[in-house]
């Protein structure tokens, strides 16, 4: 995507999509912002991202055959894996059909979990290896 074609606004991004994908992403964004008034949607990395201040909360992206939803949290994906079982789940995101009817409750829970994670940082899911001291 060259610089002239990169969307500068969310509506600009949605305008590049077919009606089904644009409507689904609009509904998904509205479902999140309707529950969390302090969040805003911006374009970052050429796709819509939901933010609180400088912190990224949730990302959305349209592809040819699916939409990708990313709660910016591996912990959230792990925690909600059973509720995400109807979708293709990756390490940091999940894929939904282009005509998906947004699960408002699931979206709200994922965003709430991400916000809680940012408000009180938790220990990593995988313990980090201790640094080895250099050999003398």
Within 1-136, residue ranges assigned H as helices are 10-15, 19-33, 74-79, 104-119
Crossing angle of helices 104-119 and 19-33, in 10° steps, is: 50
What is the Cα–Cα distance from 38 to 54, expressed in whole angstroms? 12
Cα dist from 79 to 6, 106, 114, 130, 133, whole Å: 34, 12, 11, 26, 35
**CATH fold for domain 10-119:** 3.90.1150
- pLDDT score, position 135: 66
Q: What is the pLDDT along the chain (136 residues), one digit of tens a residue?
A: 555 678 889 999 999 999 999 999 999 999 999 999 999 999 999 999 999 999 999 999 999 999 999 999 899 999 999 999 999 999 999 999 999 999 999 999 999 999 999 998 666 666 666 666 666 6
- pLDDT score, position 120: 84
- Tokens of residue 85, six digits: 């079982």
Q: DSSP letter for 103, please.
A: -
| Cα pseudo-dihedral 54, 117, 69, 80, rounded to 10 | -170
What is the Cα–Cα distance from 89 to 112, expressed in whole angstroms? 19
């Amino acid at each position: 995507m060259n610089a002239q074609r990169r969307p500068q606004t969310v509506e600009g991004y949605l305008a590049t999509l077919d009606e089904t994908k644009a409507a689904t992403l609009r509904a998904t964004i509205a479902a999140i912002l309707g529950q969390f008034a302090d969040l805003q949607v911006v374009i970052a990395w050429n796709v819509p991202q939901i933010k609180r201040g400088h912190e990224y909360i949730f990302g959305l992206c349209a592809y040819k055959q699916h939409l990708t939803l990313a709660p910016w949290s591996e912990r959230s994906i792990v925690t909600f894996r059973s509720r995400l079982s109807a979708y293709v789940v990756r390490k940091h995101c999940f894929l939904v059909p282009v005509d998906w009817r947004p699960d408002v409750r699931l979206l709200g829970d994922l965003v709430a979990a991400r916000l809680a994670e940012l408000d009180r940082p938790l220990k990593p899911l995988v313990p980090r290896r201790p640094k080895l001291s250099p050999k003398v």
